[in-house]
Amino acid sequence: MTPMDRIKALLNTIYGAQAAGAVFDKILPVIEKYSVQKRKKETFFSHQDVILITYADSLNNQGSPALETLRHFAKQYLKETISDIHFLPFFPYSSDDGFSVMDFCQIRPDLGNWDDVQAIGRDFGLMFDFVVNHFSSQSQWFKNYLEAKPGFEHFAIEVDPSADLSLVTRPRSLPVLSEYKKNDGQTVHLWTTFSEDQIDLNYCSPDVLATMIDVLLFYTSKGATILRMDAIAYLWKQIGTTCIHLAQTHDMVKLFRAVLDLVAPDVIIITETNVPHAENITYFGDGRNEAQMVYNFTLPPLLLYTFLEQDVCMLSQWAKGLSLEPENNTFFNFTASHDGIGVRPLEGILPSSEIEKLINAANRCGGNVSWKQNSDGSQSPYELNITYLDAILADQSSEKTEKFLASQAIQYVLPGVPATYIHSLLGSRNWQEGVLETSRARSINRERLWVEDVIRQLNNPESFRARIFFPYLELIRIRRKQKAFNPNAGFEILDLDSKLFCIKRHCETQTIYAITNISSQPVSVDLPVQKSKDLITGQIAEATSFKLKPYQYVWLEQK
């Protein structure tokens, strides 16, 4: 079936046979606006894929646009290690640090412009946020809706406030509906999954669908190589259901994929669904018709738990299930992002008593906990708001960089594409001042830095930033040379010791044993390998037994 045939079939499924033709007629001119890109890549993923996650203004320089500042920094320090840069929303916004988008097709003037973005794209792949679920209450779109302008009458989801919404899954402890007044004086209650400033888009409307397909293809025309579908799990609403992971939501992902397969077949979709693992991986679809990548949301909290408990058993057991059949699907492996450390993905893996240990540890280390509202009115933990570095070190005064780097070494050997948040790479600690300034817990790991201060610290080899940054870059540099670390290369988890995480990665030309001591004590290792080379140190080893120092990691290439 061709992509165009898939589009028609999906419209029929989503909107019904009677309406599908009209919806197709609405979106076809939008699709035809954009030139079809010829496929250039045989496969979507490579062992050289490494993604940097950042806000456009994470680094700033007085008098220069932030995008220009980031471009200079990235060219100087990251050209040989980072393949792609994920820009968190850099559009005009009204709240939520960019995720309440006012204009989906403009760059914030203080950051620069599309020319600056495309200049970065000459050296790096570009990953953009496709904020697919909602738009700002301060946007022109919303003003058009309130005025009932043609094409915008049904942009938002109007709900009778007496409707039974008790089954709706809530990611926040906020009301699901917010009240607004239209220009004609009518009061309406609109669906607002995340906040009253973030109006959920009504995908029952062909006008919304056509508009968002236009946004999707506009991003590809500006050089996007990866598109992150933010909060995709909540896209379709149907009263009387949980309104999460609905069949129509999956069909919408398939529809966006079919549109990209038609116009920009090399562009990758990644779905952002901070939910338990079994739910998360459903967004691969059949392996060919939904996302090529999904966020590996279980990894950050489970890896943190592993280091706190100094026991790899749960991590190893979970990691054994990371196999994927199709070669064009893989995990997006990360430990930190602009958000906190989600704990919902641990449901079904750890009992609540063990999750409570993570909550207590975050509180001890200067972090906070965000909560979500359950259908029975109770609350449960949603995420830990703390930098991953402070969470792993478990001591705000600690400067044991080797412990944090050990956690990142595990992330970088798992099957999947590794991604590193800029504040992890730069060794940033909890930004308590930001929490006080904004009254938002998530600000703790969203500090805006002055680039001259960062460079000054990097130029001092004794500084904490330098002792994180340069060993981290070296780890990445070494990894990108190893074909056995292809995202879809074979792997086997070896149960050597409760203090050792060991994974065997292999392809036709290379076999690597990656072993990490996650404890504060030396641990003996016994491997059935007669001769190997440690890719980290370059040393040749002929012994099958050796000791790893606390938090030491080795990548042993079998000879």
Helix (H, G, I), strand (E, B) or coil at 503: strand
- Tokens standing for residue 81: 């290690």
State yes or no: is 230 an active-site residue: yes
Helix (H, G, I), strand (E, B) or coil at 142: helix
Parallel, antiparallel or unpaired: strands 523-526 and 545-548: antiparallel
Catalytic hit among 129, 214, 230, 251: 230
Furthest-apart CA pair in the chain: how many Å?
A: 81
187 by Cβ neighbours in 10 Å (0-12 / 13-18 / 19+) ranks as: exposed
- Determine the Cα–Cα distance for residues 412 and 84; give it in Å rounded to an integer: 15
Instruction: Sort residue 373 into left (φ over 0), alpha (ψ -120 to 50) or beta.
Output: beta
- Determine the Cα–Cα distance for residues 499 and 525; give it in Å rounded to an integer: 10
461 by Cβ neighbours in 10 Å (0-12 / 13-18 / 19+) ranks as: exposed
Helix spans in 37-166 (H): 66-77, 114-120, 140-146
Report helix angle 17-32 to 3-15, nearest 10.
Answer: 140
Cα four-point dihedral sign 59, 64, 67, 71: negative
Tokens 């590996």: give the residue.
Answer: 296
136 DSSP β-pair partners: 198
User: Catalytic residue numbers?
Assistant: 230
